[in-house]
Amino acid sequence: TVGWFARSHGGFLGLRDRRLTGGVQLSQRVEDVESGANTPASPRAVRQRTSQLTDGFALVRPLEIARPDRRSSFGVMGRLDHFRLDRDTDASNRFMVLGLFYDINSRVSAALDYQEMRPSDGSTTLPTETWFAHFVINF
């Protein structure tokens, strides 16, 4: 019998600065996938599936970039993911986040963002659009 098998690998490159924080990631996962009912009419079959993820994100404080001598509490953020469950097919999903954030003080931040999931090329994922309000409070 074939046991369950999976391995993942990838890389991340990032930049961390108060004015601009961002990163790009590429990753891949290889796993065994079973199909069939393990009967004479539908024998069990195992194949390897390779999934791929590419994503990038950025948090930008445009007022601090324009005037580096002054700190700004306001910023914009964005994230884009592209996920393909099986590289042998064209079906894939795109996930996007666009938003604004504001540091109320050094311990409290608030953010408002729009998130969207879009299938493409035959993906069966349901498209979604959502607005979120986030609060971060550090004790």
Q: What is the pLDDT of residue 2?
A: 47
pLDDT in tens, 56-110: 999 999 999 999 999 999 999 999 999 998 888 889 999 999 999 999 999 999 9
* Residue pLDDT, tens place only, 97-124: 999 999 999 999 999 999 999 999 889 8
Sign of CA dihedral 63, 19, 71, 109: positive
- Longest CA–CA separation in the chain, Å: 74
Q: In whole angstroms, what separates CA 64 from the centre of its chain? A: 26
